[in-house]
């Protein structure tokens, strides 16, 4: 069965976006960008909320600029080919290898887990990921913890009342003081 993975950059105080909506502190250096590219390579389908979809739309055409380096072009190629499902109540159309979800996250994930396929089911966008985590559907959390305190904003982890035990699978320092953590949900 395919794993559901939630992976994002997070401030040391636990936020993916600061109180002003900014996440400029999480711009990856080359080593972190390589780590993110390797993660996306192992994804079979990516579930996104509307805001993350709109942010990531940049990658649909960025490689058409010949001035970009190899790593940028490679990530764009991988991202464009990756099947994506967007959860939105406001979008009426999406582009590229993307479709709008017609059901809720639990139904979409159950269907994806039941059908044949390779790679993880990645979930991104803090609101969508919090909903999926609250439903108990996340198998693995992957955090790139940036050495910054933003003081508030959108939290990485859902603020539900449910305890969830995790098992550390991997930890290492990457880039300029960024700590990469991989936790499996203990079941």
Domains of the chain: 4-185 (3.40.430.10)
| Distance between CA atoms of residues 134 and 142, nearest Å | 16
Whether the model clears a pTM of 0.85, i.e. scores above it, the answer is: yes
Range scoring the smallest mean pLDDT among 11-25, 30-44, 55-69, 70-84: 55-69
Confirm if 152 and 19 have CB atoms less than 8 A apart: yes
Q: What integer pLDDT is reported at residue 99 of this predicted model? A: 96
The pLDDT of 93-110, averaged and rounded, is: 95
What is the helix (H) or strand (E) element at residue 179, kind and residue range?
A: strand 178-185
Positive or negative: CA dihedral 113, 107, 10, 82: positive
The pLDDT of 100-110, averaged and rounded, is: 97
């Amino acid at each position: 069965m395919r794993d559901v993975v939630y992976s994002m950059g997070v401030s040391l105080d636990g936020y993916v976006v600061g109180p002003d909506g900014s996440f400029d502190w999480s711009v990856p250096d080359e080593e972190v960008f390589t780590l993110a590219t390797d993660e996306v390579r192992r994804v079979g389908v990516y579930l996104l909320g509307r805001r993350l979809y709109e942010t990531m739309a940049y990658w649909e055409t960025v490689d058409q600029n010949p001035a970009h380096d190899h790593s940028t072009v490679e990530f764009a190629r991988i991202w464009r080919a990756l099947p994506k499902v967007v959860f939105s109540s406001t979008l009426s159309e999406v582009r590229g290898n993307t479709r709008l979800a017609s059901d809720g996250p639990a139904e979409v994930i159950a269907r994806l887990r039941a059908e044949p396929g390779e790679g993880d089911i990645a979930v991104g966008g803090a609101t969508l990921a919090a909903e999926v985590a609250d439903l108990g559907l996340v198998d693995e959390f992957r955090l790139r913890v940036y050495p910054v305190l933003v003081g508030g904003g959108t939290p990485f982890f859902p603020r539900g009342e449910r305890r969830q035990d995790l098992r550390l699978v991997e930890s290492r320092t990457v880039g300029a003081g960024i700590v990469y953590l991989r936790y499996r949900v203990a079941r």
